[in-house]
Amino acid sequence: MKEKYKLEFLLKTSPRVLDKLISTPDGLADWFADDVRVNDDIYTFEWDGNAENARLVQLKMNSKIRFQWLEDEQDGLDTYFELAYIIDPMTNSVILHITDFATAADQESSAALWHQAINDLKRIIGA
């Protein structure tokens, strides 16, 4: 059974830059996947030649984007992965919240993949 977990990252960037990087295929391909293609509300993420499809469930500009893997959708799982952010009013830094689901056995490796992806994101934004 997959369990929800959350990660939080502090980014020194503008919401406008982050929005492009988390909500466009080109932006996502810069840091999250090797390639990203979109057909209607289905995003195809490719890593090392392997493709995974996810449905865009929710998009709120200047706030968040949420996807559900089609495999989980077909299995009837109420799971998703979400990238949401807020602006810290004290520092004007962007706080990125990631919500994802993984089995207890896979949670550590899943979180490690997110940390690597966010390191790539930080490198791109120069933070």
CA torsion angle 84 115 99 22 (round to 10): 30
Angstrom distance (rounded) from CA 72 to CA 52? 11
pTM of the model: 0.92
Q: Could you read off the pLDDT tens digit of each residue along the chain, which spans 127 residues?
A: 999 999 999 998 988 999 999 999 999 999 999 999 999 999 999 999 999 999 999 999 889 999 999 999 999 999 999 999 999 888 888 999 999 999 999 999 999 999 999 999 999 998 6
- Domains, the chain, in order of start with CATH, read 2-125 (3.30.530.20)
